[in-house]
Structure formats: structure tokens, C-alpha cells
Structure 1
Amino acid sequence: MDPPNPAKSNKRPPERPKPDPKSHSSSSAASASDRPDTHPSSAKKPRPNHGPHHHKPGHERRSKPDTSSSSNRVVKASHVLIKHQGSRRKASWRDPDGVRISATTREAAVERLQQIREEIESGKIRFEDAATEHSDCSSYKRGGDLGPFGRGKMQKPFEEAAFALKVGEMSDIIDSDSGVHIILRTA
């Protein structure tokens, strides 16, 4: 014969007697005026601080974005690129075979870009028009507009310069593996 299984037992545990709400004996627990109005499990208790709280992936708490120019997650910029013999790719829309670019020294590219920058600063030419006319980047079609980009999307020197600029500010000449640039932060 099998031992009795308590889970299958039809016996109920003995019921405890319910306290009489009208009874005011001194032996009872706290009187109604001494008891809290809420159930103990719903009482607010301070939560212990056990270090950083980890959220499920995709449920991270997000803080308000920092609006300072150097810490934005995304910027928008335009640029003028002048390639030279040290550029990683010698060809451009203006020089498909790279003949002119291969013959241009870095110093000559910087000098040319400095002249373009001075014309922009003096108001002689708009930045967009300078990019359309002089840039070796295919963004010339959009007046040098690169659109929005985040960190890690551009070459490091270019990215650092773009994120350091204030909206509407133009950079000094920036060197990258692509060539030399001037950057205008637009957003």
C-alpha cells in the first residue's frame, strides 16, 4: 500500500478563529486606532541602494540630451575637401584619374583651401557655392552637405572638429586621410 499523499488529501487545515471586531479586550493585538490604514505590504518602505540598477536591453533609462555642442550625439555639417598627393584616394569627381590630385602637394592644397575660407569669411562667396565649385567630395552636388552623422561615422580628426564647432561656426583647416577640409556645422 502507498503512503498517504498530503496533496491528494481531502482534509482541510483547521481554521483559525476570526477576531471579533467588536471585542476590545486588552489581550488582542493593537486597537483599531493603533493599526495602519493600509495593508503592511503596501506600506512605502525605503528601497536599499544596491548599486546601479540594470534595465533589460532596450529598456534603458534615458536622460535628457546634453545640448552642448561637444557632447551631442548627432551633428549636421557641410564641408569643402581639397585632395592632395597624400590623400588615401587620389581620384575625385573633378579629377577621375587623379592626375591633378597626384601633382598637388599638401601645402598647395592648404593654401588653396585657405583662400577659399577667406572668400567665405569676407562674404565674397557662400559656403555652399564654394563647396559646389571647389570641393573634391561628391557632396559638392549638395553644396557640401553631409547630412546628419553621429560619432564613429567620420574620420576621427573630422569628427572631433565637427562636434567641437557651434552651429553656424566654420572650422580652421582640418587634415584627414581624405585631404584637407573646412567644415561648417549646420545643426
Structure 2
Amino acid sequence: MSSHRHPQDQVRASHILIKHEGSRRKASWKDPDGRVISATTRDAAVERLTALREDIVAGKARFEDVAARHSDCSSAKRGGDLGRFGHGQMQKPFEEATFALKVGEISDIVDTESGVHIILRTG
């Protein structure tokens, strides 16, 4: 196994995604018609996500539980877990933010074409 030579080749992460009117796909498992998403500004999405992040950081809520309830990504069913990924598999801002985190750290708000995210690096 050559994994010790390139520890940065792959990471594992979970995330919480809040979509908004600027998102590429304005629909999710929670909002199949995209009614809520289309009416959500980026600012409102960031505000919601910031509040959720504060609860997690303060220990009031578990990342997985928040993801399962609030994330607009289908990974919500797995508590936000995206599994392992390497370079070039995710949108660039998402990838860069994840690789910059230490295991167990939660990112600040990250913008991609999908919406706004917070990312928890798990491996």
C-alpha cells in the first residue's frame, strides 16, 4: 500500500448543502419542484447555513443529524457523507476547501455552482 507516500491523494468528507436561486439545479429531494430553492437568495442560504454551523460547532447538534434534516444533497440520507474522493472529482472550490481542512475540521461557507456548503473532513 502506497497510501503513506501520498496522504493527500484522497480525502473523505461530509457536507451540508443549501441550494439557492443561483444554484445550477434548483431542485432537491426536499424540494422536488424547486419552489423553496428558487425563492431563496444566496444571502438567506448563507444565513441558514451559518446558523446550522454554529449549532454544530457549539455541540448543540451533530453534523450528521443536521445534514440528514437540512442538506439539499442526496448525501443527506448518509448524514452528508460523500465517501472518499481525489483531485478532479468535485467542483474546484469544494475540493480545495476539503483538502485544506484537517480531519475533524469544519469549513467556513464554500460557494459552488450547486449552492453553499459547509464541509466536514472525516478522513
Into which bin does the TM-score normalised by the smaller protein fall? over 0.9
Q: Identical aligned pairs, as a percentage?
A: 71
Which ranges in structure 1 are unaligned for 5 or more consecutive residues? 1-61
Distance 1:98 1:146, change over 3 A: same
2:103 pairs with 1:167: yes
Look up the match of 1:134: 70
Which ranges in structure 2 are unaligned for 5 or more consecutive residues? none
2:73 pairs with 1:73: no
Which of 47, 53, 58 matches 1:117? 53
Distance 2:31 2:71 in 1: 11
Distance 1:66 1:83, change over 3 A: same
**Structure 1 residues 20-39: aligned runs within 5 Å:** none
Deviation at 1:66, TM superposition (A): 3.8
The structure that is strand-richer by fraction is 2
Question: Structure 1 runs of 4+ off > 6 angstroms?
Answer: none
Higher relative contact order, chain-length normalized (CA < 8 Å, sep 6+) = 2
Aligned length: 122
- Root-mean-square deviation (Å): 1.3
Distance 1:120 1:102 in 2: 26
Distance 1:140 1:155 in 2: 18
Distance 2:58 2:18 in 1: 20
The structure that is helix-richer by fraction is 2
Q: TM-score, normalised by structure 1?
A: 0.64
Q: Which has the larger radius of gyration?
A: 1
Deviation at 1:97, TM superposition (A): 0.6
Distance 1:119 1:64, change over 3 A: closer
Distance 2:35 2:94 in 1: 25
Deviation at 1:65, TM superposition (A): 1.4
Distance 1:66 1:136, change over 3 A: same
Q: TM-score, normalised by structure 2?
A: 0.96
